[in-house]
Structure 1
Amino acid sequence: MAKPNKKGPVRTVDIFCANCKAKLFKYRKGGKGSLIKCFIERISVDHTNNQTHCPECEQEFSRKTLIRGAPALKIVGNKVTFK
């Protein structure tokens, strides 16, 4: 199965916690759909401690997994927002 594009998209989005609005990541997102997964190699700036829990409210917003052979974060539904 094909791996995600290394270079990735150019457009970046800011990802926030839906509960407390704390900034979590700056991410190079492709496409215009909702945020379902984040490939770790596409995260530009990381504001979290362990990439699975919000640094302010400690709510779990993602789970670590492998998608197409690359490490990724699977986003838990309605736990994050992005702009």
Structure 2
Amino acid sequence: MAKPNKKLPSKSVNIYCNNCKFKLFKYKKGGKGALLKCFKERIVEDFTLVPCICPQCETIFARDTLVNGTPAFKIIGNKAFCK
């Protein structure tokens, strides 16, 4: 299985909670696809106090997992979106 590239993508997106629109992460996203997972090494700014929980509405928006041996947050369907 392939690991994410060490060189960060140039495209930076903001990830928001779908429930209360609170800004959760500033993330270096590669590709044009939907937001399924966030590799921890690509998170530039983290605005959460507790991992995977929105600080404003306390909704669980992701699960802490390993994807191909790399630590990541796997986004639960339709709980977070990126702009």
Q: Above 0.5 in TM-score?
A: yes
Identity %: 60
Cα distance in 1 for residues equivalent to 2:59 and 2:27: 20
Aligned residue for 2:73, secondary structure, equals strand
TM-score normalized by structure 2? 0.96
The alignment's C-alpha RMSD in Å is 0.8
State the alpha-carbon separation in 1 of the partners of residues 68 and 10 from structure 2.
Answer: 21
TM (norm. structure 1) is 0.96
Distance in 2 between residues matched to 1:27 and 1:14, nearest whole Å: 6
Structure 2 unmatched runs, 5+: none
Q: After TM superposition, which residue ranges in structure 1, 4 or more long, deviate above 6 angstroms? A: none
For 1:1-80, list aligned pairs within 5 A: 1-80=1-80
Count of matched residue pairs: 83
